[in-house]
Amino acid sequence: MSSPSGAGKTTLSRKLIEADNNIAMSISVTTRKPRPGEVDGKDYYFISIEKFESMIAAKELLEWANVFGNLYGTPRKPVEDALARGRDVLFDIDWQGTQQLAQAMEDDLVRLFILPPNADALRTRLIGRNQDASNVIAKRMAEAGREISHWPEYDYVVVNENVDEAHKEVVAILMAERLKRRRQLGLTDFVRGLMTGL
């Protein structure tokens, strides 16, 4: 799931995780400092630049990107472990990370882009978070256009005007993707058994 900052991807990600026990949230590593209320190991793993660079060198990241001067990346092992247990993994990442994930796991990836209803709503949400200085908010607004320009690279697009409605749309996308024939493990054996009984 990707969006410009303030469009609601983190809120929608949290609602999805709360509503579905079969989804594991991918927790990214980052070199940025924690924002107020963020918890190491829950929101992100906050690490040094040196540690991040060693993870790149050891190929321990599925994807990584430089965003607003800070490094962000997805540790490989927790994702592979969750998938091996049959869980879906939700990524709250930007378009750069999505492109890299598409190269690493194209067959299993579903790309969803979250858009704000308009620029004023985006600005209001960024200000309302009370997490960033005005110069950072201005930088995020300036970057939003470049981020939004990548929406055609995604499989689905949800306009987050109302978070409850947007959540319903995200849940519908998840259900549709899970019901795809290729994703239903054991379906062939089930159908064979069904046919035997006819």
- Is residue 190, in this structure, part of any structural domain at all? no
Residue 1 within any structural domain of the chain: no
Structural domains of the chain, count = 1
Output helix, strand, coil percentages for the chain, rounded to the nearest 5. 50, 15, 30
195 in a structural domain: no
In a domain, 126, yes or no: yes
Query: 56 and 100 in contact (C-beta within 8 Å)?
Result: no
Q: What's the confidence (pLDDT) of residue 5?
A: 86
* Residue 177 burial class via C-beta count within 10 angstroms: exposed 0-12, middle 13-18, buried 19 and up: middle
What pLDDT score was predicted for residue 37? 87
Q: Rg of the chain's alpha carbons, rounded to an integer?
A: 18
- Asked if residue 150 is part of any domain, the answer here is yes
Give me the CATH number covering residue 88.
Answer: 3.40.50.300
Start-to-end C-alpha separation, the chain: 43
Phi, psi (degrees; rounded to nearest 5) at 21: -75, -10
Which of 2, 13, 1, 6 lies closest to 139, judged by CA? 6
Closest CA to 10 of 26, 31, 22, 21: 26
- Residue 127 located in a structural domain: yes
SS3 56: helix
Q: Is residue 43 part of a domain?
A: yes
Instruction: Tell me if 54 is assigned to some domain.
Output: yes
> Residue ranges of the chain with pLDDT lower than 70?
none
Domain that holds residue 143: 9-184
